[in-house]
Amino acid sequence: MTRNDPAAAWRVLLCHKHPVSARLHFLVPEQGGVLLPRALPRLAVVSESEQGPVVQSHPAMALRELQGMLGVNVDLEWVDAFHLHMETPGELVAIYLAALPGYDLVEPPPRTRWIQLPQSVGMPWLDREVLRRAYEVLIG
């Protein structure tokens, strides 16, 4: 993806929170990272700025595109209480949190897997920080 590609300026963390037990899973790529459709560059840092990117796609567009990429036949839901941006070389990247609704996990799409937060031990700090921030929004 190039810098002119609108999809280059967003990433999604996909989760499933069981509506009764509050069991929380995250869909992550097998090759590393926790964001879809691709990991952040190595030099990414959490942006402390309150402003997002100047030009940004609406989260619904990102979710629809991600749903098509993953081949998931269930409508993903945007978690609007989650706000995070990452500074990367040359751009500010919006990080969206999406939730898979319902009681059951779907079969993970190829090259992805479902994990729970304890399975993130050993992942790079930035990936764990993204998961931690999502956990705080989802569980409190």
Tell me the pLDDT of the chain (140 aa) as tens digits: 334 454 557 899 999 999 998 899 999 999 989 999 988 888 899 998 766 555 556 777 778 888 888 888 888 999 999 989 999 888 888 899 999 999 999 999 999 999 999 999 999 999 999 999 999 999 97
Say if residue 32 is exposed, middle or buried (CB neighbours under 10 Å; 0-12, 13-18, 19+): exposed
User: Whole-model pTM?
Assistant: 0.86
Closest CA to 120 of 107, 108, 129, 109: 129
What ranges do the domains of the chain cover?
6-138
Distance, in Å, from the CA atom of 103 to the CA atom of 19, rounded to the nearest integer, reads 6
CATH no. of 6-138: 3.90.79
Q: 18 is written with which tokens?
A: 């069981």
